[in-house]
Amino acid sequence: MVTSAHRVRYTYAQYRALEAASNVKHEFLDGQIFAMAGGSREHAALAAAVVGLIYGQLMRGPCRAHSSDLRVRIPGTGLATYPDVTIVCGEPRVDEDDPQAVTNPTLVVEVLSDSTAEYDRGEKFDHYKTLGSLQQYVLVSQGTKDVVVFTRGSSGWTEARHGAGDDVHLSSVSATLNVDDLYAGAEPG
């Protein structure tokens, strides 16, 4: 006899209540709540380096960088998640069902780990692509000096890979990251 497990479905309001009471971050999609794995020391250092390197470049402009404490909600798919770095240009648009979540990031950065790399490159990026405001999606590898930038253009998304010695031009927010500076003090691998 084969039985299937009953899958509990949650409302977005139940998810928000869980997040408010939890010290662990969770993603929400299609009635399911998924605990997000804690990042490594290198993961945290790379995310902080991104913010540190571009903060001064954004200070007097219309864009603002946010850490992984900012929740992003994707109205077209329902995903609620916490990117490693989110940059919003102009006034943040707050989700109609969630005053703690924005829906209009201009640039999102994800630091790749072994457990999330495939998801971040594939399904998660597919969710992000539905955001009309998103102009660039940046993937930072923990294993090597490798930064991949996806940029939205008139004919779709293009991909540019950057390595040691390169400058990464983030045209969507008028900022530049130097790959060597980004990985200074990090221990790739």
pLDDT digits (tens, 9 = 90+) for 14-31: 999 999 999 889 999 999
Answer CATH for 39-183 from 3.40.50.970, 3.30.470.20, 3.20.20.80, 3.90.1570.10: 3.90.1570.10
pLDDT on residue 187: 61
- pLDDT at residue number 116: 87
Q: State the first-to-last Cα distance of the chain, in angstroms, to the nearest integer.
A: 46
Is residue 99 within 8 Å of 71, Cβ to Cβ?
Answer: no
- Please provide the average confidence, as pLDDT, over all residues in the chain: 93
> At 87, which amino acid appears?
I
Burial tier of 108 (Cβ tally within 10 Å: 0-12, 13-18, 19+): buried
Burial group, residue 139, by CB count within 10 angstroms (0-12, 13-18, 19+) = buried
Q: Are 98 and 123 a contacting pair, CB within 8 Å?
A: no
Nearest alpha carbon to residue 172 among 49, 45, 57 = 57
Beta-strand runs (E) in 6-52 = 26-29, 32-35
Prediction pTM value: 0.93
pLDDT band at 188 (very low <50, low <70, confident <90, very high): low
